[in-house]
Structure 1
Amino acid sequence: MMEPLKEMFNKKFYESLAHEFRKVDKHFDSKKFISSVTKDLDALELNQRLRKTTEVLREHLPTDYKKSISLLKKVIPNVNRGYTTLVFPDFVGKYGKHDITTSLEALKHFTKFGSSEFAVREFLKTDFDTTINAMGQWAEDKDPHVRRLASEGSRPRLPWSFKLDNVIKDPQLTLPILEKLKSDEELYVRKSVANHLNDISKEHPKFILDIVKNWKGSSPHTDWILKHASRSLLKKGHPELLAHFGIRHNAAIGTVSFKLLNSSIIVGEDIQFSLILENTGNKKIKVRIEYALYFRIANGNLSKKVFKISERILNKQETIKLDRKHSFKLITTRKYHAGAHKIALIINGKEGKPLDFKLKGLS
């Protein structure tokens, strides 16, 4: 079994971290730091351990904020990259709001060794204009980690962080940053831009539609961003957006067959289905094939989630047959509830008649 993520913050990590601080600051009390930071550690989860590390570091570093930042900068290159390096920007986010100039410069530096995406939001919350202006400059930086921070840190709905309500209300606030990054050479950066736009699409579908109209064709990199950014609206079957990607909502596609291969499963098994599609027209067409699963939830209602099968060209009079399955294996991100479920085929945004199947509890 894989070790819990929280175990990244363990005694071995703290001994190594203390050793690095001791090398740059002879006054750093390694023994006292390790004793304090590991006390009652077992009871803490991942982010609780991260925050405790930040707080204990504060007790063992100079009271002068700039001196502490100087030491942190000396240590971070010698720490293994990964989630544990978030301690460094977390220190800035918690203790640096009184000195935004020093703090933003530190976050720009620390993000090269991990990510400052969570910490920078603390400054967007307290001094949005100063912070967003700095992030606009970061979008032009030569380092891809810094450019990504400009987009990722200003996302309206960054997972594991609080929402930026002002950006949710007015997506124009971050558009200048996205404009600078829309053709970025780094996939790492482009994924962030796409996710940022997908966040915006939740409240502002017309805004995304306008972006697609204005940006489409600028470059292959931009077109990749637009397609990935439109995924939520495409799954909702937005006709105008589908059309911009060459997918006709009313295309001449016939569903010859859609059937379940098993109508009753237990948790841990797969629901299996097959489908046959036919292009009944005289021209080749682009077809987007998806399916909707209606999961039973705790209150007995059904909750819909759409899954993509493929997107392909169907030649005139061509027929295709596909067999697929969906796993109901236990996962941490979804809780299954026994009872009636439904599955429906979606072709070019149009949903067909759902089929019923039953999910039984664990055997």
Structure 2
Amino acid sequence: MERAIAAAEAHSAHNYHPLPVVVASAEGAWMTDVEGRRYLDMLAGYSALNFGHRNRRLLDAAKAQLDRVTLTSRAFHHDRFAEFCTELADLCGMEMVLPMNTGAEAIETAVKTARKWGYRVKGVPDGKAKIVVAENNFHGRTTTIVSFSTDPEARADYGPYTPGFEIVPYGDLAALDAAVDEHTVAVLLEPIQGEAGVLVPPPGYLAGVRELTRARGTLFIADEIQSGLGRTGATFACEHEGVVPDVYVLGKALGGGVVPVSAVVSSAEVLGVYRPGEHGSTFGGNPLACAVALEVIAMLRTGEFQQRATELGDHLHSELGLLAGGGPVREVRGRGLWAGIDIDPAHGTGREISEKLMDRGVLVKDTHGSTIRIAPPLVISKEDLDWGLAQLRGVLSAGD
């Protein structure tokens, strides 16, 4: 294992700081390293693995498609594309889909879409379009996206930065109202801020954003890349406030942990602004991606995974709530099978807690120094979840 880690350190850019474990295989909610030790996955690829490792339905869908055709490019139609777009649009209650590959690509696509809509439909003067975003956001790491990040690690040394964005405090409707003007083409928000530490907005905030944007004639773009597709106990996190945005941005779990799949989903009025040649992706909407995503959609339609996230999530937060408010845990936040746990720095950094959990056979990851995130695959059993929580209690207990 040490040799593999050393080789990775020597020959790959150090833009990540992974835990010192080398995974060789995985199944469901469990991973096994090159030395045969098993670990409970409590991160699920930042929600890309909502349906678990090597989910049989998803692997069967991928294998069947691999035997037929994997790529045509969008120069031609293929026999999975129309079905994928139709089914995903219907799942979202929308009309049209623009498929891409990664979450960051989908956010870039949403930004371009909002600006084009602003110029062609809303009538914003050319070059004046503005998009309002929230502090502590995480939408990806392209140069445009980091231009409106407030995280110094994500933003520093990448200027000059892309203009056209205004940042307001997350959860503050008054600040949002003050920022939206006649040139605002969109408000772009995460319904729950994942990378920031699983920050849930105040009750009524998303509904307020929906009302404000509708009244002011601007788009509400919901980045559901991490929060969507079952993670919070609903298909989309916006549903917890009965909100349907103008645009969904999806990724991660849409590819089932098998292939990268992302999409912008909206109305014909919004996505209908595109003409041939104005945007594209060689791999976006490829047959393999469509086949896997179609199976993901079919699985979500059963409601099984949303129900599991609700029931196990209630149990997770009940157990974590017993740890909060004293000792090493300062605060616990989250919704469904998703939680952020703020650790008192006197007890250790998030990285140190993550490493201690790794030693006990549980894999989580830290963010922003003192916070760890818990987001197990939605297929995790209650027994395994309880075992993982027991390891967390052990790490946080005095004298560990």
Query: Is the shorter-chain TM-score for this pair beyond 0.5, marking a shared fold?
Result: no
Normalised by the length of structure 1, the TM-score is 0.28
Q: Rg bigger for which structure?
A: 1
Question: Which of the two has greater helix per residue?
Answer: 1
Structure scoring higher RCO (CA < 8 A, sep ≥ 6) equals 2
What is the TM-score with the length of structure 2 in the denominator? 0.26
